[in-house]
């Protein structure tokens, strides 16, 4: 067996051991509390999750939330990256947008959700909130990535008569991609947290947030834990998907550079 395979198996084994330890700790807390209204066991949650998975409503709620939050994430990422490019090019734009970006980062999410419920229909509120949470993260990372592009490479490209388009695809984008990947990791988690919170407060139709709200109202703790697990799993899967996509794009651009 090669060293790479051994290393991969070791990492998988370590992650599995950590997961087992956390599940054991969860079970111990459940036994200590001894009140399933407050803390349910991992087995109970897994059983309830299995019951939910075979229903059509489960997939409708999950896909509804996934679609809205993904839309907000993509819109926020595109807007953040575009604004970073504009602000790097024109300093006045950066000075003009700085107060707005600071306001978005410092204002409580609940305030934005309540305002959005006044401005928008219930279905659009989670999209808008996810968009707001993602925009400053992507904007800040991409702007920093552009600033860190090696100026000597750009100068050399100009000397050799390379067009702006080629300088962007062969130098700037490959240099900025690691910053974009870091932004995606952070922004995806924030978009799910804020988006689901907007669904809970707005009781959005066909959403996980609405099911979380009903779980609280009817004291269905097993459902509360099960739907929370669904949010975590969807967030992790979406993060892996986007990171793989960014890595693929990074490889393509590196190949073009060669």
- Give tens-digit pLDDT for 121-163: 778 899 999 999 999 999 989 888 888 776 777 667 666 666 6
Number of C-beta neighbours around residue 104 at 10 A = 16
The stretch 240-252 carries a mean pLDDT of 76
Distance CA 34, CA 176 (A): 51
Distance CA 162, CA 109 (A): 45
Tell me if residue 216 falls in helix, strand or coil: helix
> Could you give the percent of the chain with pLDDT greater than 90?
19
At residue 72, the pLDDT reads 92
Indicate if the alpha-carbon torsion angle 222, 228, 231, 234 is positive or negative.
negative
- Domains located in the chain, CATH noted: 55-257 (1.10.3720.10)
DSSP letter (8 states) at residue 55: S
Distance CA 145, CA 130 (A): 23
Distance CA 159, CA 173 (A): 19
> Could you give the percent of the chain with pLDDT greater than 70?
85
């Amino acid at each position: 067996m090669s060293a790479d395979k051994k290393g991969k198996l070791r990492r998988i084994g370590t992650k599995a051991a950590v997961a087992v330890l956390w599940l054991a700790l969860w079970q111990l807390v459940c036994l200590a509390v001894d009140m399933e209204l407050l803390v349910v066991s991992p087995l109970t949650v897994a059983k309830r999750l299995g019951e939910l998975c075979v229903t059509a409503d489960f997939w409708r709620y999950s896909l509804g939330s996934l679609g809205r939050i993904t839309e907000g994430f993509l819109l926020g990422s595109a807007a953040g990256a575009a604004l970073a490019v504009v602000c790097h090019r024109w300093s006045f734009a950066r000075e003009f947008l700085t107060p707005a970006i600071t306001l978005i980062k410092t204002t409580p999410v609940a305030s934005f959700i309540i305002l959005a419920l006044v401005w928008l229909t219930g279905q659009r509120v989670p999209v808008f909130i996810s968009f707001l949470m993602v925009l400053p993260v992507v904007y800040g990372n991409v702007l920093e990535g552009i600033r860190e592009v090696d100026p000597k490479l750009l100068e050399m490209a100009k000397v050799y008569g390379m067009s702006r388009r080629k300088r962007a695809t062969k130098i700037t984008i490959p240099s900025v991609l690691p910053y974009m990947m870091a932004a995606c990791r952070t922004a995806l988690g924030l978009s799910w947290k804020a988006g689901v919170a907007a669904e809970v407060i707005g009781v959005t139709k066909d959403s996980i947030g609405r099911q979380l709200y009903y779980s609280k109202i009817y004291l269905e703790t097993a459902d509360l834990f099960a739907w929370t697990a669904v949010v975590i799993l969807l967030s992790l899967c979406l993060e892996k998907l986007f990171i793989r996509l960014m890595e693929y794009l990074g490889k393509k651009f590196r190949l073009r550079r060669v």
